[in-house]
Amino acid sequence: MSTQHERITIFDTTLRDGEQSPGCSMNQQEKLRLAHQLDRLGVDVIEAGFPIASDGDFESVKAIATVIRRPVIAGLARAAKGDIERAWEALKYAAHPRIHVFLATSDIHLQYKLRITRDQCVAQAKEAIQLAKSLCDDVEFSPEDATRTDPGVERSCRGGGDHSEHSRHRWIYGANGICRVDSYDP
């Protein structure tokens, strides 16, 4: 009888999401100090920032990617060429880089925020993931507003082939994982 052990992966977004809290912005040295602390705590994945957001965020992500060697260092990018390329530029010296691509996928976001169709959403996700994969081996996809996304869009984004429970992790045209709100499926 074999015993299968599941592993919980700690994915910390403090360096990115923390920046969005009023009065909580950090300079590069503060972010680097916090990244060292997260590393010492054994965090598996540190989302270091959103490199396209500003030159300061880009430089902070680049510094963290260059210095912190054990955990995966992720950079957030919208499903757009410029974002993905900027994220890679910041991450390329990391020992374990990850590009974290996101795109709104719910009907309300598609209609009112992005003004695109479901088919255009699926095509944009495919193109973005393929570009990110051409730059970086580890790519994560987040469907923004996933809980309100039509299951048909999710099935379409799987890119064809086997849609069984065992293949659900190969989401979005080769992405290594999917992040839905507080969950990540490798």
Ordered by where they begin, the domains of the chain are 11-185 (3.20.20.70)
Q: pLDDT at position 154, please? A: 67
Count CB atoms within 10 A of the CB of residue 186.
9
Which is it for strands 97-104 and 139-144: parallel, antiparallel or unpaired? parallel
Q: pLDDT at position 165, please? A: 44
Which is it for strands 72-78 and 183-185: parallel, antiparallel or unpaired? unpaired
User: Sorting pLDDT into bands at 50, 70 and 90, what band is 88?
Assistant: very high
| Model pLDDT for residues 144-164, shown as the tens digit of each residue | 888 888 877 766 665 544 444
Q: pLDDT at position 117, please? A: 93
Give the global pTM: 0.87
In three-state secondary structure terms, 32 is helix
| Model pLDDT for residues 50-87, shown as the tens digit of each residue | 999 999 999 999 999 999 999 999 999 999 999 999 99
Residues in contact with 46: Cβ distance below 8 Å, sequence separation at least 6, in sequence order:
12, 15, 35, 38, 39, 64, 68, 71, 72, 73, 74
- The answer on pLDDT for 121 being more than 60 is yes
- The answer on pLDDT for 99 being more than 80 is yes
Q: pLDDT at position 151, please? A: 78
| Model pLDDT for residues 23-44, shown as the tens digit of each residue | 788 999 999 999 999 999 999 9
Residue among 41, 112, 49, 99 at smallest CA distance from 71:
41
Better-predicted residue by pLDDT, 55 or 122: 55
In the predicted model, what is the mean pLDDT of the chain? 86
